Structure 1
Amino acid sequence: MIVFVDVLGLGITIPVLPLYAQDVFGATATEVALIASIYFAAQFVAAPQLGRLSDRIGRRPVLILSQAGSFVALLLNGAAPSLGFIYLARVIDGLTGGNISVAQAYLSDITDERNRARGLGVINAAFSTGFAIGPAFGAFAASQYGPRVPFFMGAVVSLLTISLSFFLLPESLTPERRQREAAENAQRASRSRVQMLRSPAVLLIVLIALLVQFGFFGFQSLYVLWMDQVVLAGNSLPYIQQVVGLIFTLIGIIGILSQAWLVGPLVRRFKERTLVRGGVLLTTLAFLFMALFPSLPPVVVTASARAVA
C-alpha cells in the first residue's frame, strides 16, 4: 500500500513537470533534461547510503525519511517562484529517493525464501498500478486546474504514505538482525566492485543495462516536450497533457499485464538470455519506429511495445 500510494504521488507529476518548467519558467529543452539528470545523479549518490543506513537503524525510519523528502520536494515544485527551486526540489527528492529499494528490503526481512518472490512481485504490481493511475490523474488535474495543482495533490498523497508508515508500519529489522546484517555487509564489502566487474558475464550485463537505461531515460526526460512540439504540435496544452497522461497510463497497464501473464511463461519457454535479447531488440525497434513515424497512432503502438520490452 505504501509503495502504491508513493508511486501514485510520483506518477501524478510525470506528464506535468516538463511543460510546467517550459511554460511557466521558460526552460529550454536542455534545462528540462537537466531536471531529470539532477534527480538521478542525486539518487545515484544517496541510494546506497540509504540502504546501509537502513541496515544500521532499521527500515522504518529510513522509509519515513525518504517519504518526507518526497513530500518537501513536491511542495517546493508546486510553490516554486523560479526554475532554481525546481532543481532544488529534484535534488532533495533524489537524495531521499530510496523508498522503493528500502521497501523491497523490508519485504525481504519479513518473508522467507519460499514466498519472497511473491512478496517482491506484490511490490512490482503496486509500482505498476500506481504508475498506471497517477499520470492520467495528474494530467487531468493540470488541464483543469493549472500546472501547480498536481504537485500539491502529490504532496497530499505523500503525506498519506508518511502517516501510514508512522502509525501502522512496524519495524522489520530487529537489533539482533541488524548486527548480523552489519557483519554480512562488512564481509561483502571486502570484495571489490572492480573485481566483480572483471567477470565478463557481470561486465556484459552491466553494460547492457547501462546502454538500455541511458537510451530510455535520455528519451523519457524529453518525451513530453517531443509530444508537445512534434507529435501533437498545434494542439492545446490541456489536450497534450491528457494524451501524454493516458499514454503513460497505458504503459503502466501493459506493464502489469506483462508481469502477471507474460514474463513467467516466456522465461520457462525461451530462458532469460533470449528474453534479454528480445527485449533490447524490441526497445530499439520501438525508438526507431517513433523517430520515423512521429504521429499519434504509431506512438501509442510503440509505447505499448516498449512497455512489453
Structure 2
Amino acid sequence: MVSRPFESFSRLTKCTPWLQGSLTAAALTISVLPLNRLSDRIGRKPILLLGLSVALMSILWVGLAKTFWSLAASQCFRGLFDGNISVSKNVIGEMTDYTNRSRAFSLFLILSTCGRTLGLLIGGDLQKRSSSLFGIEFFKQHPYFLPCLVVAIILAIAFIVILFFLEETAPRRVLGRQSLQEESSQTYSPPLRELAVYPVIIAVANYTGLVFLNQCENALLPLVFAMPVEIGGLGFNPAQIGYILGAYSLLTTFFLAFFFGPIIRFFGERRFFIFCVFSQLLMWVMLPIIHQYARHFGIGAHVWVGLAVMSLPHVCVEMGFGCIYTYLIGAAPNRRSMSSTIAVAYVISSIFGIMVPTMATSLFSYSIQHNILGGYAVYAVISFWTVLATLVAFCLPFDARPVWERERS
C-alpha cells in the first residue's frame, strides 16, 4: 500500500515529522563518523559545501515528491551525505578557545532557533499561497514546491558565502609548511580506541542524557497539547500549539542572546549545565498538575501560568547544549581527536533520535490506556531518567578547557 501514490499531498505531509526524526537520524548514524574523519583529511570546508549541496537537492526533492518512498529516499539521501550537523561544531571549536567557546555555541543555537522559526513561517505561509498566487497547475500538483524552492535559494546563498568567505579550520589545512612526520602526528584521524577514556565517556554520556530529555520534550509536548483533556491532553487547536511553541522559541532566543554569556561567566559551565538538566524535572512534574487543573476547572489562567512556568526547562535544555558542546571539545585527548569525539557523540544522539520519540509517545499511550499511575506513568519514568542524568552531570570536570589549551596557559 505504501508504494502507491498518495491521494493528496496532505496525506504525504503527515509522514514528514516521522521521516525527519527517524529516517534522517538513521542515516546520520551511519554517515556522521566517516564524514567527520574525512573532514580531518580533506578539510572542513569541502564537507560543509557538500552538506549544503545535498540539503539543497534534498529539499527540492521533497517539494517534488508525490509518493511515500520518494519522500523517504530524500531524507535518507540527506542523512547519508550531509555532515554539517557535526562538522559545523568542529569549525566552531577550532575557531575559538575556552574564553569565548560557550558564547560562540550560544550564537550557533540562536541562529539555529531563528532558522527553525523562519522555516516554519516559510513552509506554512507559502504552501497556502502557492496554488492561489500563481494559479499554475504545477503548483497545484506540488503545493510544497514553492516553500522548498525558497529554502533552496537560502541554502544556495549560504553555499556561496561559505565558498568565498569561510577560512579552512581543519588542522591539516592550516599547519603550513611542516615536516611530513610532524604533520602526520597532528592531523590524521586517531583510532577510535583513543576515545575510550573517562573524560570522553562522561562528556558523551552527558550529551546523550540531554539529547534524551530534549527528544522526549519534542515528542511529547505537541502530543499532550493536542490530545483531548479527557485522555490526558490539553485539547489545544493547531494554532494555539503553534503560538505556545513559537513563544517558547522566541524566549529561548532572547535568553541565549542576552543572558547566556553572563550566566556562564558567573556560574561556570559545570554548575549551569547541572541546573539545566535538573530543571527538566520541573516540566515532567508540571504537566500532570496542569492537566488536572484543565480537567477540573477548564482551560483558564491557571493553565496558562503553568505553561509559562514550563518555559524555564524548555529554555534551559537549549542553553544546556551550549555548555555540553564545550565539554565535548574539552574532553578530546588531543586536538586531532576533537572531531572524532564530536562525531561519536552525534552517532549516539542519532540512535536516540530514532528510538526516543517512538518510545516516549508509546509510553504516553500505554500509560493512559492502562491507567498506570493515573495515566501519568510516562512522566514518572522520564523524571527518573532526569534524576539519573543530573547525577551523571555531577561527574563533569570543573575545568572545561581542552588539554592542549590548559598546557598553553
Q: Aligned partners of 1:289, 1:91: CA distance in 2, in Å? A: 40
List gaps (5 residues or longer) in structure 1. 1-20, 234-239
Deviation at 1:103, TM superposition (A): 2.2
- The 3 A distance-change label for structure 1 pair 118 and 142 is same
Q: What secondary structure is seen at the aligned counterpart in 2 of 1:190?
A: helix
Structure 2 matches for 1:1-309, cutoff 5 A? Answer: 24=9, 26=11, 33-145=18-130, 147-148=143-144, 149-173=146-170, 174-175=172-173, 177=175, 179=184, 181-183=186-188, 185-186=189-190, 189-191=192-194, 193=196, 196=198, 205=206, 208-209=209-210, 211-219=212-220, 223=222, 227=226, 231=235, 240=238, 246-263=243-260, 268=266, 271-272=271-272, 274-285=274-285, 287-288=287-288, 293=294, 298=304, 301=308, 304-309=311-316
Deviation at 1:68, TM superposition (A): 0.7
Fraction of identical pairs, as percent: 18
Deviation at 1:42, TM superposition (A): 1.1
TM-score with structure 2 setting the length: 0.55
Deviates more, 1:257-266 or 1:136-145: 257-266
Q: Verify the 8 A CA contact 1:282 1:306 in the aligned structure 2.
A: yes
Partner AA of 2:23 in structure 1: I
Q: Aligned partners of 2:241, 2:150: CA distance in 1, in Å? A: 18
Bigger-Rg structure (1/2): 2
Partner AA of 1:212 in structure 2: L
| Cα shift readout 1:238-279 (whole Å, capped 9, x = no counterpart) | xx4x66555444232211222234445656459236414432
Q: Verify the 8 A CA contact 2:106 2:260 in the aligned structure 1.
A: no
- The 3 A distance-change label for structure 1 pair 179 and 283 is farther
Deviates more, 1:277-286 or 1:22-31: 22-31
TM-score with structure 1 setting the length: 0.70
Q: What secondary structure is seen at the aligned counterpart in 1 of 2:194?
A: coil
Deviates more, 1:112-121 or 1:80-89: 112-121
List gaps (5 residues or longer) in structure 2. 1-5, 132-142, 176-182, 317-409
Q: Aligned partners of 1:132, 1:31: CA distance in 2, in Å? A: 17
